[in-house]
Amino acid sequence: MSITEKIKRKLSRFEISTKITFGYAACFIALLILINAAMWFGVMNALYRPAENTIIYSISQIENVLEELEENYEDFKPGTFRGALVTGVVLRVVDKDGVVFIDTDKKYPSLERFEENILDAPPIFSRDDFKIAQIRNALIYRAEVEYVHEGEVFKLYFFRTITSELKLFEELERILVALDILGVIIAMFVGRYLSKRILNPIQTMNELAREIAFEKMGGRIPVENANDELGELAKTLNKMLDRLQGGINKQQKFVSDASHELRTPAAVIKGYIEFIEHYGTEDKELLEENLKMIGSEAQNMQALLENLLFISRTDQNRQKLNKKALDLDDIIGDVMQKMKVAIKTHEVELTSNEPAKIFGDEITIRQMIRIFLDNAVKYTPAGGSIKVGSKVDGNKILVSISDSGIGIAPENLDKIFDRFFRVGSEQLVSEANGSGLGLSIAKWIADAHKIKISVASELGKGTTFTLTIPINSQ
Ligand code: ADP
């Protein structure tokens, strides 16, 4: 495992606030280092280097003086040189025998004393061509230049005490280090405080989320500042809870509606059985009639259960569709033929059935057409007519199922596809019995095949459902 991975692993164990605190402190330290470096170089260039440069400058001045003095050996005296030296710089000239014969400051420590006290480790930033000695508290810098006059070699020593500049420089270093430590401590505290403050709402969210349960979905996360990211998160979570609650409510309603629907046929069957028990089986005619009713209720119950199972499969994304190229005209022709045989109470007519290929699952497509046809029969009094027509329109097929039945009130048109929705029974034709699931199933099948359903209806006159089905392009 690489070091970065190890660090990441270690960091992942810390809480977010600690990570923010460390991150913040790290940035702050980096910034401090940058500022310190800038100040260090600034002070070095503004104070320390100029002090060193006074020596360099004095050397060049003295070299000029020496050039001018070339022939006048007798002018080699301290007074001649003093004026050329920058204040603070001391000059000593030594002849070939090591005798000092020019000294611009007699009180300055002697050459021997300087030699004895030369530092083995001079400050790293000082120039290499300088020798530095520490005498008492003072740091003395020395530069050396050779001068040859009439074959004789003289040594010129330039001295300068750079103690105050250096002290200031070192003092500054100490102050910077102290400030850095203080800064880091403050950064840690401020970082900790800020991160805690920022993360506080998350804590609240966490506590609330822990309280929310299936039976206790009412709670919502307080939105403190709607415009910041945490406010956004709170709003998103609240919306998610709204959706979940909506889903749960729907589910609970579905279970209660389904149980309610199943209770009715069960109660009816129980009633017929009690009737038989009470009146006995002597009367064959009555018995047969009752058994017929029981059979019919059981059939209703079975149909209802089939529908409930279908819906539960679609809710769980378990409803299988085996889509392939289909001849819609064949399906419509077949369904209508069976319908004509089964329905004698109504006039059933196939007005047109243009050849058309679609891409879909045959079983559910048939189921969907049957739902519309069954409804047309259920909601059209005996003697009424049911017409089916299928026409190709561009790359679509329009299938219409019309009846001359009771119609649907305009205010109910957008509700008929809801689960368990049924128009009040007083408006229904007597034999109509349904559970209000048919159209919601038809809608699911239509959506799964990108089929559009439109309804036109007038109360007392009849209803037309039109299915717009895409033609199979493959
Ligand atoms: P149901 O099992 O009650 O028929 P559906 O979901 O198939 O349930 O239909 C929902 C409601 O829409 C029906 O109860 C009925 O009121 C209305 N409806 C559906 N088709 C027709 C139609 N062809 N004519 C009149 N009303 C209809």
- 423 in contact with ligand 1, CB cutoff 6 A: yes
440 alpha carbon – ligand 1 mean position (Å): 10
452 alpha carbon – ligand 1 mean position (Å): 18
CB neighbours of 413 closer than 8 A, spacing ≥ 6? 455, 457
Instruction: Give the pLDDT score at 75.
Output: 66
> 298: domain CATH number?
1.10.287.130
| Count of beta carbons in the 10 Å neighbourhood of residue 102 | 18
More confident residue, 21 or 368: 368
Do the domain assignments include residue 197?
no
**151 and 74 assigned to the same domain:** yes
Chosen domain end from 160, 175, 190: 175
- 408 in contact with ligand 1, CB cutoff 6 A: yes
- 406 in contact with ligand 1, CB cutoff 6 A: yes
Instruction: Give the pLDDT score at 158.
Output: 93
Instruction: Give the pLDDT score at 14.
Output: 66
- Residue whose CA is closest, atom 17 of ligand 1? 416
Among 14-28, 332-346, 380-394, the least confident range:
14-28
CB neighbours of 449 closer than 8 A, spacing ≥ 6? 323, 358, 359, 360, 361, 364, 365, 469, 470
296 alpha carbon – ligand 1 mean position (Å): 20
Over residues 62-99, the pLDDT tens digits come to 888 888 776 666 666 777 777 888 888 999 989 888 88
Atom of ligand 1 nearest to the CA of 422: 14
Instruction: Give the pLDDT score at 33.
Output: 86
**267 and 341 assigned to the same domain:** no
**22 and 152 assigned to the same domain:** yes
- Rounded (10°) CA dihedral 299, 304, 307, 311: -160
- 376 in contact with ligand 1, CB cutoff 6 A: yes
Instruction: Give the pLDDT score at 458.
Output: 95
**26 and 161 assigned to the same domain:** yes
Whether pLDDT at 15 is above 80: no
- Eight-state DSSP code of residue 428: S
Do the domain assignments include residue 3?
no
Atom of ligand 1 nearest to the CA of 435: 2
Total structural domains within the chain:
3
The region that residue 383 occupies, defined by phi over 0 for left and psi between -120 and 50 for alpha, beta otherwise, is left
- Rounded to the nearest integer, the mean pLDDT of the chain is 87
Instruction: Give the pLDDT score at 426.
Output: 47
**148 and 22 assigned to the same domain:** yes
**463 and 347 assigned to the same domain:** yes
- 384 in contact with ligand 1, CB cutoff 6 A: no
- Residue whose CA is closest, atom 7 of ligand 1? 438
Instruction: Give the pLDDT score at 10.
Output: 67
**73 and 91 assigned to the same domain:** yes
Q: Which residues pair with 154 in a beta bridge?
A: 147
Chosen domain end from 280, 313, 346: 313
Do the domain assignments include residue 206?
no
Over residues 412-421, the pLDDT tens digits come to 999 999 988 9
> 465: domain CATH number?
3.30.565.10
CB neighbours of 433 closer than 8 A, spacing ≥ 6? 300, 378
The whole-number average pLDDT for the span 157-162 is 90
**327 and 305 assigned to the same domain:** no
Whether pLDDT at 411 is above 90: yes
- Residue whose CA is closest, atom 16 of ligand 1? 423
Over residues 377-386, the pLDDT tens digits come to 999 999 999 9
Helices (H) and strands (E) in the chain, counts: 11, 12
**260 and 124 assigned to the same domain:** no
Whether pLDDT at 431 is above 50: no
Do the domain assignments include residue 427?
yes
Q: Which residues pair with 401 in a beta bridge?
A: 388, 465
Whether pLDDT at 442 is above 60: yes
**353 and 253 assigned to the same domain:** no
More confident residue, 287 or 14: 287
Contact 451, 465 (CB under 8 A): no
Do the domain assignments include residue 93?
yes
**Among candidate residues 27, 19, 21, the one with its CA nearest the CA of residue 35:** 27
- Residue whose CA is closest, atom 23 of ligand 1? 376
**305 and 353 assigned to the same domain:** no
Q: pTM for this one? A: 0.60
Do the domain assignments include residue 198?
no
- Residue whose CA is closest, atom 21 of ligand 1? 375
Over residues 274-292, the pLDDT tens digits come to 988 888 888 888 889 989 9
Do the domain assignments include residue 283?
yes
pLDDT classification of 424: cutoffs 50, 70, 90: low
Instruction: Give the pLDDT score at 359.
Output: 96
Instruction: Tell me the CA distances in angstroms from 218 to 119, 214, 238, 249, 276, one per residue in order.
Output: 80, 10, 10, 12, 50
Do the domain assignments include residue 188?
no
CB neighbours of 313 closer than 8 A, spacing ≥ 6? 319
The whole-number average pLDDT for the span 260-284 is 87
> Residue 28 sits in which domain range?
11-175
- 319 in contact with ligand 1, CB cutoff 6 A: no
**19 and 130 assigned to the same domain:** yes
Question: What's the one-letter identity of residue 244?
Answer: L
Atom of ligand 1 nearest to the CA of 465: 23
Chosen domain end from 175, 197, 217: 175
Instruction: Give the pLDDT score at 231.
Output: 83
Core vs surface per residue 127-144: b (16+ CB within 10 A) or e = eeebbbbeeeeebbbbbe
